[in-house]
Structure 1
Amino acid sequence: MNINILMVVACALLSGVSADENRQERVPAKGFAVYEEKGSFQPFEFTRRAVGDGDVQIEILYAGICHSDLHHVRSEWGKEEYPMVPGHEIVGRVVGVGKDVTSFKVGDMAGVGCMVDSCSECPACVAHKEQYCKDVVLTYHSHDRFHGNELTQGGYSDRIVVAEKFAVKIPQGAHLEKVAPLLCAGITTYSPLRYAGVKKGDKVGVAGFGGLGHMAVQYAVALGAEVTVFDVSEEKRGAASELGAVRYVNVNKPSDFQGLDGSFDFIISTIPSGYDPAMYLKMLKMDGQMAIVGLPAFDKMPTISLASLIFQGNRKVFGSQIGGIRETQEMLDYSVENGIYPWVEMIEADAAAIDEAYRKVLDGAVKFRYVIDMKTMK
């Protein structure tokens, strides 16, 4: 046996790592990255970590564009590190599995959302709410504490390696090109609706009718609620009605608000820009609930006064961040079973096409989610 191989085996035995693990190679990947704050997308070649015993390697077929991707690319939520490959709405085909993987086999369809790892031990993880783990590893722009602290990169790429427990199964018969946004927009709105106990006959308000809002409408309607949509223009009135909303309020028309104070059981705010939360709080019934899931840029972050909370007593306001992996799987199964999907516009896997999609998202000109067809990447 070659002396170099003997040394590898000896070192592996001393460290508790098998020689096979030592010989594992990192996975080559390519995609699209920005290299600076508010920069344009450029082709980018990099590597993923090696496939471990409990990991799956996924060939990415579709990647959704989320408004939060724009916030990160533009450093609107704080300092970022570059180059950055965004994307946390990922659907693809399993092309490799570690020896301990039991839930997936090569050829299965799998999805990855906003998280790729957590500690598995803290109260949040034990409660299947991994999104609140203090050591959660996000799909991109996050240092992976469990794999050498390397910077994670997202789904605008051709492949990803993720722990089996953070991949979700795509149900049979799913419309794959529409599934990716469910892994963020879907779970972000499904989770607080379920947490709040929205039921048949409830009056629900959806503030903001974009990528998140149009999913909230569909879930609320499916649960039997009477839904009112709030948005800033007339352009989406027809779409709201088509998705089952019974009323559409243009927030720039004061007359549209007549008779709405104290009328809602539940309001979900998906608004990604500055607004007045107290305006919606007063529209809740006594004991009504308001969930806030939209997170604007830090320099446009809304506030709510203590007086608004005290004098609108017994109305409850809570924030919600995506959902745990178990609930994400539940949401995905429910969505496919009930035919609930985002409205998507497909774009090619091309840097210029992604740049143009970002411009349209910023201008509010997308209805309602862009999805990158990663199979078209050259």
Structure 2
Amino acid sequence: MTILHLPTESGRLSAYEPRTEPAAHATAPAAAGEPRSRVFYSAAHVVADPFRTAAGRTAALDWDATLAFRRHLWSHGVGVAEAMDTAQRGMGLDWAGAAELIRRSSAEARATGGRLVCGAGTDQLADDPVGRPHGLGEIRTAYEEQLAVVEDAGSRAVLMASRALAAAAKGPDDYLELYGHLLRQAAQPVVLHWLGPMFDPALEGYWGSTDLDAATNTLLEVIAAQPGKVDGVKISLLDAGREVALRRRLPDGVRCYTGDDFHYPELIAGDDRGFSHALLGVFDPLAPLAARAVRLLDTGDTAGFRALLDPTVELSRHLFGAPTRHYKTGVVLLAWLAGHQSHFTMVGGLHSARSLPHLARAYELADRIGLFPDPALAASRMTQLLSVYGV
């Protein structure tokens, strides 16, 4: 019998007995095709190459492992949201690396028939040494460059929230003008991206106001001004009530993609007035289980869907606990423990962004819900990590 001694936030060690057999959902073969009742994407992480030094500002990635993980997601019918914040955009992965990731993933999606959307933003703009904001013209050009890369690769774009725009915009009119320009030239409908400051503090006041009601009105005005140009809105405010209120005001044909990693089961299940689709970072580790759950919705089995997905919320809330932007560390830990990559190393050294007690708790919660296809491998790797810290 294996017993792990896991460090807790109180500074003590707690004995934990890992499960010895995988849960049925962890080893069940992937079902063919995508779920019918919801469109859902996993914002996928990237796998660093620990044996190479990044050249300049470009991250060194293990391309084979990075693309293999995307094939894993597609095999379960889960779409991939590429080059998003889960892939460490603005936190280790620069635009040059993101552009290469978009090109490679787009080619892989065509080869496998996987659903793909890709993030287009403005992160090629260098920070001004004295902190002056970029001009709106520069920001528009940066968006156009990235939108062109996504569309030239044959993919649809997610227009990501821009730190540069948040710093430069004087009010709602600047958002209306810039997004209107981008939507008019987009070749295919795009997903708009509203990422709250809990994910990125530099995005405080996005859409021209810190008043979320006013910001919502501006977003809806952007959509209404360009009919047919917006596929949907990804909203990541960790506020279920606000998301429900927004999705009820969206025009027909415009999807609400939940980015709420705290309340996703209830938001995806929906109510008698509608439901949310999903574009979630937590679906990176949860993909097989989430795909199985959403297929129950295809049959009308909402209770079965909730029975599978509700127990995952405690893990998700832990991974996305403050500071929320460091959730990526737990996501990559779980990928390593599950056997999707050979190491626990991240671009920019972000594997050190969370404490050992935080990582230990993530392991325990994941193991309790049967997330690992090989529990013995996960326990062995967790033991290795504990030994590095002297446990």
Q: Structure 1 length normalisation: TM-score? A: 0.29
TM-score by length of 2: 0.29
Q: Which has the higher helix share?
A: 2
Select the structure with the greater relative contact order (CA < 8 A; seq sep ≥ 6): 2
**Rg (Cα) greater in structure:** 1
Could you say which structure has the higher strand fraction?
A: 1
